[in-house]
Chain A
Amino acid sequence: MRTQLTHHDADVLVIGGGLAGCWAAITAAQGGARVIVAEKGRCGTSGVAAAAGPGHWWVPPDPGRREEAIARRLAAAQGLGDAAWMARIVDRTFRTLPDIASHYQYVPDDDGRIRHHALRGPEYLRALREKALAAGAIVLDHSPALELLRHADGGIAGARGVSRQGAGGDWVVRAGATILATGGCGFRSHLLGGANNTGDGLLMAVEAGAVLSGMEFSAFFTVVPADTTMARTMIYSFARYYDEHGRLLDRPQGPHDNAFLAEALTHGPVFCDLSATPEDVRRQLPQISPNVTLAFRRLGIDPFQDRFPVSLVGEGTIRGVGGVRVADADAGAGVEGLFVAGDVASREPVTGAVSGGGAVNAAWALSSGCIAAEAALARVRRHGRRADTPADGTGGAGLAHPHGTTDAAEIERAVQAEMLSPMKQYFRTDATLSAARDRLDAGWTALPHAGLAPTPHARARRRELAALTATARWSTASALARRDSLGLHRRADAIAATTPPAHVIAGGVDTIWTDLVPAGEQA
């Protein structure tokens, strides 16, 4: 089959046009670079921020306030945080986020003040897209990247992918610097806005020689009305939960807020009661989070009168933590010409062993995007685009498309059976993890035999399957390597050893390796 090839040249290629990718594109384009954003879905509606409402970590530079805020987060990070990175993102977010007012209509609060850090997702991402375009960035929508390209000397030279719409076909972007901003990996759960976040960037980065860190911090589940995607948490802060006999479920304090729900759900349906929600909050909810109320209305549920069934939706590394290990203060991936921004990167420097959802992740996405863009720009100024020197693909798994015999959906289900099981992920033991590792290895071995058509959709999907499986394998291997409990990673079989804080790093594609690196040591 002949596929049409479209060739582009750029100074900076940004892969992924969500929160981090858009800020990277804006910054690089405003700095004078020719910027191309390749987005799997639609820049402006894709990614997990677009359907949510990200609050950003926001601390004004008043005397002592930032030091105090950072000290608190450092303590929560349980030895894995980095005060310098925290200071960097607090400062960057405070200086840069208000710029979005050129395209986002802030609405003052009851005191007439603008709260710059709180933005509604659909409006925010629409504004980011428009701001990136206004700055001169070129956006390729519906154009998933499949693999990175590399010069003979090891520097990253851009990427190659497919277009899902229009005439379809393949694209190549040659660029002097490449920023990965493909988000975290939710293992294709029903997480709101998460279906495109399949770990593609993790796979591309590792194939190019990057190292992952914190992949064991991938046990994170959120309450949703049963069978829905609506993982917006605010209203559940008033929740009480009941079993099918109407017995109130006891909510023990612990590192996994929802572990008691996971256990209860193994016995039968669990019902949520929101009757403790104050009257004014009930009235305001449609204008705080419109999608929350609309989901209830369409299900015929009055959430403040009726007890409704809930389920748990897995988030993997999204409101978990792990990803590509940031190698330096420039958000470099430890590979020449490659940078990382947002959830594709490990957020351990800014959040440690606990989730960065709620404020830190968005501040990290914005700041790492801006910092990566500036570093990318500086690199292009030093080395040029190098557009005419040859470059080869770095990708392997899932890129060929034979007519295989294995059902691709079956491999995906096997991955999900491990990674989206709250019980398996909340209560990890050496035995459960070893069994998961073996099943995932079997999935990986079956991958080259998974038959999918050579259409752009199917080719992207096959590569996603490779990324999902690889990400599950890195998470499982990392969870095996950390033998005690820390933060989001709980080992039900932990011997209460208090080892000095260390990062679990991981890599390898066919053969996976892990290692422990004492916290505070440079990569």
Chain B
Amino acid sequence: MIELVIASRCTGCTACVTACPRDVFDPVPDGPPRIARQADCQTCFLCELYCREDALYVHPDAGRARPQDAAAIEASGLLGEYRRASGWDEWAGNEALRNQHWRMEDVFRRARDA
């Protein structure tokens, strides 16, 4: 579930508020959005793709809250991984991050033939 909106990174653009398909965030005037309905989060990670500041952190546990330490997550290098690995925004055009989704059927075929 969504665990962190990192205030030092957040610009208050509210892109996450609109992007979240579960309407988990509430906008806050002059501040980072609030995680208002954490239990509604469907752990799809998509809010992170729409946060250009990499200010959001979703923990993979979908069943219960897993409170995270913002400083530790900052230091972990895990912020922004989804956007980067997907080659979004400023990562577009980076050869190493090219979308290789097309390989999926080949991988399935190799596993079948193995």
Contact = CB atoms under 8 A, between A and B. Distances in A.
A298 B62 contact: no
A298 B60 contact: yes
B98 interface: yes
A123 interface: yes
A227 B62 contact: yes
Interface residues of B, number: 43
Interface in A275-309: 276, 278, 281, 284, 286-291, 293-295, 297-299
Contacts of B38: none
The 3 tightest CB contacts between A and B, nearest first, are A41-B21, A237-B111, A46-B21
A194 B42 contact: yes
B43 A229 contact: yes
Contacts of A294: 45, 78, 81-82, 85
Specify the main secondary structure of chain A where it touches its partner.
loop
A115 B21 contact: no
Contacts of B19: 42, 44-45
Interface string A93-119: 000000000000101010000010011
30 contacts: A41-B21, A41-B22, A42-B19, A47-B21, A50-B46, A51-B44, A51-B46, A109-B102, A118-B102, A118-B104, A118-B105, A122-B86, A123-B99, A165-B18, A193-B21, A193-B44, A194-B42, A195-B21, A225-B60, A229-B60, A234-B104, A237-B108, A237-B111, A238-B114, A278-B110, A281-B107, A287-B85, A289-B104, A294-B85, A298-B60
A120 B101 contact: yes
Interface string A338-352: 000000000000000
Interface string B50-88: 100000000111110000000000000010011001110
A496 B114 CA distance: 34
B62 A190 contact: yes
Contacts of B17: 165
Interface in B1-31: 17-23
A369 B27 CA distance: 34
Contacts of A227: 60-63
Interface in A52-67: 53, 55
Interface string B92-107: 0000011111111101
A284 B42 CA distance: 26
Interface of B: 17-23, 37, 40, 42-47, 49-50, 59-63, 78, 81-82, 85-87, 97-105, 107-108, 110-112, 114
Max chain B C-beta neighbours (<10 A), residue from A45, A46, A50, A194: A45
A115 B23 CA distance: 34
B103 A288 contact: yes
Max chain A C-beta neighbours (<10 A), residue from B44, B45, B86, B111: B44
Contact of B23 (A41, A55, A109, A289): A41
A238 B61 CA distance: 23
Contact of B82 (A50, A107, A288, A290): A290
A119 B105 CA distance: 11
A92 B34 CA distance: 44
A234 B107 contact: yes
B101 A53 contact: yes
Nearest to B87: A287
Nearest to B83: A290
Contacts of B46: 45, 50-51, 122
Given A41-B22, A41-B23, A228-B62, A195 B86 contact: no
Given A41-B22, A118-B104, A190-B62, A287 B99 contact: yes
Interface string A112-148: 0001001110110000000000000000011000000
Chain A: number of interface residues, binned into ranges:
35 or more
Interface in A154-207: 164-165, 190, 192-196
Contacts of A50: 21, 44, 46
Contacts of A289: 101, 104
Contacts of A118: 101-102, 104-105
Contacts of A123: 86, 99
Nearest to A225: B60
Contacts of A318: none
Nearest to A286: B85
Contacts of A281: 107, 110
Interface in A457-489: 457
B70 to A, nearest CB: 15
